[in-house]
Structure 1
């Protein structure tokens, strides 16, 4: 689906005039006497001084100098430049480097930065960018557009590209059908090596980026693959069906992208065929797409555990507020449970103020123990390490770890309590309470995510809130309950 870059020079001039930028910039960097700073820092990111100078040149209207500085950058670095630049600078920057704004730059951009930038473009301009992209990248961009802009963009595309994108958009969100590429090389099983090489040389429309050739039967169902390295080393008369690798991993078009990533990771795949419901070859997925998926899924799980939404610094303030506040309100409700339990023991605490000093320790350490177990469990579920076959064994393992941790922390805290308060009964109560709460936290950390997973919900979404509620409530109940029934307060 890649095509040559479409010249948007006239659009650039219009944008420059709208933003008050002079189209003619006779002064070069040399004439200005300025030097171009190093664009890269050791941390593999754009140098702050480089970004500041770009911003300064944009504000001065020196588009030629901006272009000269940006031109040597890799598309990924240009995309990063947009993310680091202030919001009000991004559109003038795009106008200054119009012919550098390739589809690759757009696809590498942060999604929030890209969304903001695409809003300023017409459907035809977005279509010009999309026409340069592979199908999977094009589908991502089109899916992010609002309904009206999406329709305008699709209408501006060629009929072939429009049909391919609409077909991909018909598949479920985050499925293999959304992320697959249609540009692949497929040959029939009865072709010889010479036939395949001739086919590759004579067809200019074939993709130039591939690592293996897919072998299909007359119904276009994949029956094997052949790596290019093997193809080039075989005699020309050899049949492709004799040298192909019949074993292959096929990806159903509706498979979730996280499951696709796990298959690539498990079997060490470079690329894999995507098949439709009838088993016909409809596309392929390559490992470079999977790297993005693995990173995005890992980031998503971490952010869900904290209730921080997308967690992107470019996300609009109102969107971040909406995604975070609902979990804070939920957490407020669960905190009231712990407060209610404390209220039941108000008389006990009043008779012995030392209890109020030690209560947060019991709840806090128990919560940390639960969070540790929860993080391990959520990761194990996400990577398919924790399944029905080893569920009981995993729970038993976490219980043993919690018991060992509980004994260790109980001994340390008990010794500290004795040294400070010189009260044997208080020492015994705090030691028993914290050991119990660590065990409870360990069990909650594994059982809460498992419960969500068995119910068909994402265990990363709300596990942390319920684990924290359990350890806080049970920590206060255990500690204050033991203090009451043991006669520690003299009641």
Structure 2
């Protein structure tokens, strides 16, 4: 049975054991921290929120209900919000943008590199209830004329892939999608083979303005998950 962290934290706060609260937060997953904060009254929630590691604060903000998120955002300054945003994927930052002031948004944009700013602008340019609003722009793209060996070396140099990555997107010089290269295929193909020889050319595509309901139905119909 999972401990009642809310009661433990409340008792620690009442007795002035701030270090105990910090130790508990360090052990919890962001989703568990979110559940803990949601269950606390605002007067207790705020001091606990101040103890949350800034590196995981962004993930916690994504997990809490909107009312709690707005309450927590009011307790953060621009520096804290920029640090929290840096730990998130671009599409996750886009989810937070509607709740932020213009000043904070400007600070976050300034902290991003040019490519990430362009990706964020791309996501924000589409309504939330469309394919464009749903898309994950934190992806890895490659060209079809590269060899498997070169792509593999590039991935090793990169060191880390976006979460849930199981395929690379093959694009042309204008960043138009040509196909996908599954990581499983990349690992088993000859190093000398070209991406064009081992990629999958047929894939389901959506217009960026396709309603999210139609996207969900297509995912179920074609077993895309």
Give the TM-score normalised by structure 2. Answer: 0.86
Q: Is the counterpart of residue 266 in structure 1 residue 221 in structure 2? A: yes
RMSD over aligned CA atoms reads 2.4
Structure 2 residue corresponding to 1:172, chosen from 116, 121, 127? 127
In the other structure, the counterpart of 2:19 is 64
CA apart distance, 1:163: 4.4
In the other structure, the counterpart of 2:70 is 115
Q: Contact conserved, 2:54 with 2:80, CA < 8 A, in 1?
A: no
Equivalent residue of 1:215, what SS? strand
Q: Contact conserved, 1:127 with 1:156, CA < 8 A, in 2?
A: no
Task: Provide, for residues 389-412 of structure 1, a one-character-per-residue CA deviation record: whole Å limited to 9, x for no partner.
Answer: xxxxxxxxxxxxxxxxxxxxxxxx
5+ residue gaps, structure 2, are none
Aligned residues: 224
Q: Contact conserved, 1:224 with 1:246, CA < 8 A, in 2?
A: yes
5+ residue gaps, structure 1, are 1-37, 41-46, 271-491
Q: Is the counterpart of residue 228 in structure 1 residue 149 in structure 2? A: no
CA apart distance, 1:100: 6.4
Alpha-carbon distance in structure 2 between the residues aligned to 1:99 and 1:148:
21
Q: Select between 76-85 and 173-182 the one with higher mean Cα deviation.
A: 173-182
CA apart distance, 1:91: 0.9
Equivalent residue of 1:182, what SS? coil
Q: Is the counterpart of residue 239 in structure 1 residue 194 in structure 2? A: yes
Q: Contact conserved, 1:211 with 1:228, CA < 8 A, in 2?
A: yes
Equivalent residue of 2:206, what SS? strand
CA apart distance, 1:152: 5.1
Task: Provide, for residues 106-126 of structure 1, a one-character-per-residue CA deviation record: whole Å limited to 9, x for no partner.
Answer: 222222211110012123321
In the other structure, the counterpart of 2:59 is 104
Q: Select between 210-219 and 130-139 the one with higher mean Cα deviation.
A: 210-219
Equivalent residue of 2:216, what SS? helix
Closer/same/farther in 2, CA of residues 236 and 78 from structure 1, 3 Å limit: same
Q: Contact conserved, 2:56 with 2:87, CA < 8 A, in 1?
A: no
In the other structure, the counterpart of 1:217 is 172
Q: Is the counterpart of residue 254 in structure 1 residue 213 in structure 2? A: no
Task: Provide, for residues 144-189 of structure 1, a one-character-per-residue CA deviation record: whole Å limited to 9, x for no partner.
Answer: 22x4455454465335344443442222233333332322121111
User: Which structure has the higher relative contact order (CA within 8 Å, separation 6+)?
Assistant: 2
In the other structure, the counterpart of 1:199 is 154
